[in-house]
């Protein structure tokens, strides 16, 4: 009986010690865990901040794709607007040319400018009409705004036009307001100069210059341009006038050749 009591007592002691060890272990573990958490808290905060930062940034990838699509659409819209403007400008030019052709008392042949002479010694253009279409040498060439030049070379399906701005070009002209005559010669700067104007002639800025109609090349009373300056060269017995052509030759795309 006594032996049995001793066994029960020893068992209770073992159970108590086991419970004590467990309780002590939990306290140690909790303390150790608390220290680890305290030590790693700044790093955990930084990681959490980075996670939040990247969480906010991730949507920007979709925004970038959306912006790319919007830029592509904007570029397409701009190209479409440019194409529409080109068609509008072309229609406007052709309408002006057609109106001029209808009102002109001269029979004309419409043509398109397809090239320019690259030489520095001449100011000329190439058109897409030639002898096959009725173009003849020395025919006057006009635009809806005024005189352009004359035909100097004729091929079967193309022709070369010498512009009035070429130094080799000479045209008999008049000051519209007083019918003062002179000769228009081309200048290297793209303008023209009217020479042989009488010293007592009343010529001033903004005066209109028209063709005189002398000879068989240029019809009479076709607008040439406008006076921008008047002067007198030393030792000469006449005045000159700087004339800006009514037609900007650098923008010339369609012309009318007089038959």
So what's the pLDDT on residue 177?
93
Residues 6 or more apart in contact with residue 243 via CB below 8 angstroms: 184, 191, 192, 193, 194, 209, 224, 225, 226, 227, 228
Distance CA 242, CA 5 (A): 139
Give the tens place of pLDDT for each residue, 201-253.
Answer: 899 999 999 999 887 789 999 999 999 999 988 888 899 999 999 999 988 88
Give the tens place of pLDDT for each residue, 88-120.
Answer: 666 666 666 666 666 667 888 999 999 987 665
So what's the pLDDT on residue 127?
95
Closest CA to 128 of 115, 141, 145: 115
Give the tens place of pLDDT for each residue, 11-54.
Answer: 554 554 455 444 444 444 455 445 554 554 555 555 555 555 55
Distance CA 49, CA 38 (A): 17
pTM exceeding the 0.95 threshold for the entire prediction = no
Under a CB-based contact definition with an 8 Å cutoff, are residues 123 and 163 in contact?
Answer: yes
Under a CB-based contact definition with an 8 Å cutoff, are residues 243 and 192 in contact?
Answer: yes
DSSP H helices, the chain, are: 2-103
Closest CA to 247 of 91, 117, 87, 100: 100
Closest CA to 78 of 86, 90, 66: 86
Residue ranges of domains in the chain, CATH in brackets: 109-163 (2.40.10.340), 170-258 (2.40.10.350)
Give the tens place of pLDDT for each residue, 42-93.
Answer: 555 555 555 555 555 555 667 777 777 777 777 777 777 776 766 766 666 6
Give the tens place of pLDDT for each residue, 148-163.
Answer: 999 999 999 999 999 9
Under a CB-based contact definition with an 8 Å cutoff, are residues 115 and 108 in contact?
Answer: no
């Amino acid at each position: 009986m006594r032996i049995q009591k001793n066994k029960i007592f020893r068992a209770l002691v073992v159970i108590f010690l086991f419970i004590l060890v467990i309780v002590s272990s939990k306290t140690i573990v909790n303390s150790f865990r608390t220290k680890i958490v305290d030590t790693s808290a700044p790093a955990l905060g930084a990681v959490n901040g980075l996670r939040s930062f990247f969480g906010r940034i991730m949507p920007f990838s979709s925004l970038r794709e959306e912006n790319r699509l919007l830029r592509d659409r904007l570029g397409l819209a701009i190209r479409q607007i440019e194409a529409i403007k080109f068609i509008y400008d072309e229609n406007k030019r052709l309408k002006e040319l057609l109106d001029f052709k209808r009102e002109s008392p001269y029979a004309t042949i419409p043509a398109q400018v397809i090239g320019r002479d690259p030489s520095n010694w001449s100011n000329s253009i190439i058109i897409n009409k030639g002898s096959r279409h009725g173009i003849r040498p020395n025919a006057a060439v006009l635009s809806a705004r005024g005189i352009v030049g004359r035909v100097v070379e004729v091929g079967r399906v193309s022709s070369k036009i010498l512009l009035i701005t070429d130094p080799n070009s000479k045209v008999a002209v008049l000051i519209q307001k007083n019918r003062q005559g002179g000769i228009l010669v081309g200048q290297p700067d793209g303008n023209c100069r009217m020479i042989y104007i009488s010293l007592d002639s009343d010529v001033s800025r903004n005066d209109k210059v028209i063709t005189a109609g002398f000879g068989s090349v240029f019809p009479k009373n076709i607008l040439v341009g406008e006076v921008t300056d008047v002067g007198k060269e030393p030792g000469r017995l006449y005045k000159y006038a700087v004339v800006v052509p009514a037609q900007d030759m650098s923008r010339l795309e369609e012309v009318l050749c007089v038959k």
